[in-house]
């Protein structure tokens, strides 16, 4: 851990553990980064207080308790984004990673914020910066949880909403709107299949790379890409919409929650 990072962490916690628990996630650890990519760093600390300098963003959680802090971190030419979470927040987030909770309360997965989804996805594949034993402990707990099913359920719900939109728009002859809704539905369905493989993300930015790496059983990379790029759309837009909506239904039917 660099001195700059440790100095920044002392702004949030004057009594830092030795060593503090810090991991890196995102494109830089997946081998997908480019020259414009920032590092995504996460600290999990026993206690966190609000810094006095104001150089942070306070971001509310959904499933987890309270809020976490986000701060830009620059160390020479090394630019990153640092999020600081309390251990109790991560515990409360993990407590939502039980499929039984979803069965009892179908809104559990939906209440997750995009930040929480990305936190879990980056922890799943993260690399320790400091406190490697603790990072590995959090990862083992996440891998052993029902996170994949909870995330898949969340994506399928979003897909269902988009399918409903597409069907209604298609019935009224609004092809353009139905096309956009169909693309959303397909994206969420693909994300559901990826979630089963331990790939969680609130963004479509790296979806193609994740499909290529995870290789879900429901479709090939070429089949996914054909829809994403509207390869056959021009032949018959209505038929294309109906076909893709069937694909979404088939993906949903293949996922056991």
31 and 125 Cβ atoms separated by less than 8 Å: no
The per-residue pLDDT for 111 is 82
This prediction has a pTM of 0.92
The domain spans of the chain are 3-145, 148-254
Torsions phi, psi for 2 (to 5 deg): -75, 160
| Lookup result for tokens 């034993």 | 133
Q: How deeply is 70 buried, as exposed, middle or buried, from its count of CB atoms within 10 A (0-12, 13-18, 19+)?
A: middle
Consecutive 10-residue averages of pLDDT for the chain (257 residues): 80 87 95 90 93 86 91 73 94 89 62 94 97 97 95 94 98 98 98 97 96 97 98 97 98 94
20 and 45 Cβ atoms separated by less than 8 Å: yes
The neighbour count for residue 135, using CB atoms within 10 Å, is 21
Helix and strand numbers (H, E) in the chain are 11, 6
The per-residue pLDDT for 253 is 97
Residues 43, 9: Cα–Cα separation, whole Å:
8
Classify domain 3-145 at the CATH topology level. Beta Polymerase; domain 2 (3.30.460)
Q: Where are the beta strands (DSSP E) in 87-214?
A: 127-130
Report which of 220, 5, 30 is spatially closest to residue 131, judged by C-alpha positions: 5
Classify domain 148-254 at the CATH topology level. 1.20.120
The per-residue pLDDT for 105 is 62
The per-residue pLDDT for 133 is 96
The per-residue pLDDT for 104 is 66
| DSSP state letter for 24 | E
The per-residue pLDDT for 191 is 98
């Amino acid at each position: 851990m660099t001195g700059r990072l440790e100095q920044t962490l002392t702004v949030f916690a004057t009594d830092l553990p030795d060593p503090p628990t810090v991991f890196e996630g995102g494109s830089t650890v997946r081998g997908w980064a480019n020259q414009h990519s920032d590092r995504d760093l996460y600290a999990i600390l026993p206690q966190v207080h609000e810094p006095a300098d104001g150089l942070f963003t306070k971001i509310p959680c959904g499933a987890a308790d309270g809020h976490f802090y986000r701060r830009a971190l620059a160390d020479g030419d090394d630019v990153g984004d640092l999020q600081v979470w309390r251990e109790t927040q991560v515990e409360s987030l993990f407590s939502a990673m039980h499929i039984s909770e979803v069965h009892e309360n179908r809104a559990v997965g939906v209440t997750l914020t995009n930040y929480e989804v990305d936190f879990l996805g980056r922890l799943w594949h993260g690399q320790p910066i400091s406190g490697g034993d603790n990072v590995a402990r959090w990862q083992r707990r996440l891998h052993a949880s029902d996170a994949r099913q909870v995330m898949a359920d969340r994506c399928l719900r979003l897909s269902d909403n988009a399918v409903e939109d597409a069907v209604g728009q298609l019935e009224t002859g609004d092809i353009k709107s139905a096309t956009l809704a169909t693309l959303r539905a397909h994206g969420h369905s693909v994300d559901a299949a990826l979630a089963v493989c331990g790939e969680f993300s609130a963004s479509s930015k790296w979806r193609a790379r994740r499909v290529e790496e995870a290789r879900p059983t429901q479709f090939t990379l070429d089949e996914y890409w054909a829809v994403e790029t509207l390869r056959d759309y021009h032949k018959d837009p209505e038929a294309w919409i109906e076909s893709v909506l069937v694909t979404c239904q088939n993906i949903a039917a293949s996922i056991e929650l």
